[in-house]
Structure 1
Amino acid sequence: MIADWSVLDRELALWRATGLSLPLWWRDDDAVEPTAALDQLSEISADVGIPVHLAVIPAHATEGLAARMDPDAQLIPVVHGWAHANHAPVSEKKAEFRAHRPLNEMVEEAGRGFARLQELFGASLQPMFVPPWNRIDKAVVAKMPALGFRVLSTATPRKTTLAAAGMWEINTHLDPIDWRGTRSLRPPEQLVALLVQHLQDRRKGHADNTEPYGLLTHHLVHDEDIWRFSHEVLLRLMDGPTRVWTMAETLQEDPT
């Protein structure tokens, strides 16, 4: 796997020339227990200098994961649904928190997930809700602030700053996995082109550059090509005009 990064280098040079800075963050989904892949994720995070917001599945999270993360500031736990269970019919895309079941049932599970991870992680847990498969019904989102959540995170550039009254929306934008094909790395030239398009949209004012730009990974299913690309793209972005975003920054702001 060899990527041509020259087009990204040129775009980042334009950002420097115009005095722009890219807020950057990293989210990784589906953690439940300590694994060798989690260790590799943490090592890359430390090497690059950007922490990982680790979306943990509450129903399956283990005490071992909490013990593994306790001293590791590189890994920031957030709430990943409840059980990562699909409730959609076979004719629809997978979802745990879409309108396929009663609203009160979904809200109860979201609250239970928050409480379960607070028990495991204590104050290190951040009030971000990541719906499995990045899909969630608006009626559920509207109930999230009352449960204590401050940020909703799905995928693709956000259309509005707030997901609901009192709740920010901060999404992810670049996913290196070819989910519908090889389940390995998407063609690197496609990924670099998509990244550059996102940066161009922000530089030209067509997209919101106040939204942190997010890399989305899934450490449990990575092969070496996915690991290598993820490491390299973060190194290159961190070498550009960027600043690292974490939840702590947004928790200081008033989402009204």
Structure 2
Amino acid sequence: MRVDWSPLRRELALWRGQGLTLPLWWRDDDAVARTPSLDQLARMARKCDLPVHLAVIPARLEPSLIDYISVGSPFLPVVHGWAHHNTAPAGLKKAEFGHEREGAAQELAQALMTLHTAFATTLVRAFVAPWNRLHASYMPTLAALGYEVVSTFSPRNAPYAAPGLRIVNTHIDPIDWRGTRGLRDPEQIIAATLRHLVDRREGRIDNDEPFGYLTHHLVHTPDIWTFSEAFVGELLAGGAQPSPLITPPEEKI
């Protein structure tokens, strides 16, 4: 696979020339157990020297993942819904918390408690919405339960979804979900990244929000692995700075 990185390198050079810094974070979704793909993700994260905020599905969590994630690993666990089941009414796009429904608040509370029990010293109190869809009515509930960050996809419109609940979204996904389910055309990924970076540099969107790269280790093809390592490496070489969502908290529950 040959990729022309020169447009991205030129844009990042403009950032450096203007004294700008791109905050960067990496989110990977749908973790439930230790797998060969997760091992590969860990190797890549260590090679890139960039931690991965690993979105773990609480209701499907297996002991092998609890044993694998520890202090010193490249993973920072975050909460990925409750069971990642589609609860959307017929005819609507898939979502677990995309509409108001009975019992949702209890699931949100149970999800945080489950992962706190499993990962007390490393858990980041961030809620990642399955399918990146989250009804606005849940924001005050998430804040009241002790979540500190909420994450979906696309540039945020405001820094906070509710008092104490910061928005930190993802912005680039390399997977062609509606087509081959392999790697999107790299030129399209780079073009989308450039549009996003130019909008940040020129003040049209919020550069205080860390720029988020979104992966799904369980479905990666070899091309997705190869591109992702190179993409993250280019961003870091160009001056992007790792930006954790929050410092892993002390015991709070």
Q: TM-score range by the shorter chain?
A: over 0.9
Match of residue 224 from structure 2: 226
- Partner of 1:45 in structure 2? 45
Return the alpha-carbon distance in structure 2 between the equivalents of residues 70 and 183 of structure 1.
Answer: 31
Match in the other structure for 1:60: 60
Residue 246 (structure 2) aligned to one of 233, 245, 248: 248
Aligned residues with identical type, % of pairs? 49
Q: In the aligned structure 1, how far is the partner of 2:217 from the partner of 2:172?
A: 15
Shift of 1:90: 3.7
- Cα drift, residue 72 of structure 1: 4.0
- 1:137 equivalent in alignment to 2:115: no
Is residue 26–residue 52 contact of structure 1 (8 Å, CA) maintained in 2?
yes
The residue type paired with residue 119 of structure 2 is F
Q: What is the 5 A alignment of 1:72-221? A: 72-99=72-99, 101-102=101-102, 105-221=103-219
Offset, 1:89: 2.9
In the other structure, the counterpart of 1:24 is 24
Q: Is the 8 A contact 2:168 2:245 kept in 1?
A: no
**Residues in 2 aligned to 1:137 and 1:100: alpha-carbon distance in whole angstroms:** 7
Contact 1:88 1:100 in 2 (8 A): no
- When normalised by structure 1's length, the TM-score is 0.94
Cross-structure match for 1:254: none
Deviates more, 1:153-162 or 1:137-146: 137-146
Misfit runs of 4+, over 4 Å: none
| Secondary structure, aligned partner of 2:23 | strand
**How much has 1:245 moved relative to structure 2?**
0.7
**Which residue identity does 2:86 align to in structure 1?**
N
Q: Distance in 1 between matches of 2:53 and 2:113?
A: 18
Whole-Å separation in 1 of the counterparts to 2:100 and 2:9 = 45
What is the SS of the residue equivalent to 2:121? helix
From the two aligned structures, give the one with the greater helix fraction: 1
Aligned length: 249
Question: In structure 2, what is the Cα distance between the partners aligned to 1:44 and 1:185?
Answer: 17
Unaligned runs of 5+ in 2: none
CA shift at 1:71, angstroms? 4.4
User: SS state of the match for residue 216, structure 1?
Assistant: strand
Cα distance in structure 1, aligned partners of 2:236 and 2:169: 19
Q: Flag the 1:193–1:181 CA change in 2: closer, same or farther, 3 A.
A: same
SS of 1:28's equivalent in the other structure is: strand
Which deviations, in whole Å up to 9, do the C-alpha atoms of 1:101-146 show, x marking residues without a partner? 22xx111101101001111111211100001001111111121111
> Aligned equivalents of 1:199 and 1:80: distance in 2?
27
Query: What TM-score do you get using the length of structure 2 for normalisation?
Result: 0.95
2:2 match: 2
Q: Which moved more, 1:57-66 or 1:240-249?
A: 240-249
Per the alignment, do residues 249 and 20 of structure 1 end up closer, same or farther by CA in structure 2, a change over 3 Å counting? farther
Q: Specify whether residues 81 and 72 from structure 1 end up closer, same or farther in structure 2 by C-alpha distance, changes over 3 A only.
A: same
Alignment RMSD = 1.3
Q: Are the structure 2 counterparts of residues 72 and 35 from structure 1 closer, same or farther at C-alpha, using a change threshold of 3 Å?
A: farther
Which residue number in structure 1 is paired with residue 36 of structure 2? Answer: 36
Residue-by-residue CA offset, 1:26-84 (whole Å, 9 max, x unaligned): 00000000000000001000000100000000000111101011244310000000000
Residue 92 (structure 1) shift = 1.1
Using the alignment, how far apart are the partners of 1:8 and 1:211 within structure 2? Answer: 19
> In structure 2, how many angstroms separate the alpha carbons of the residues matched to 1:127 and 1:100?
22
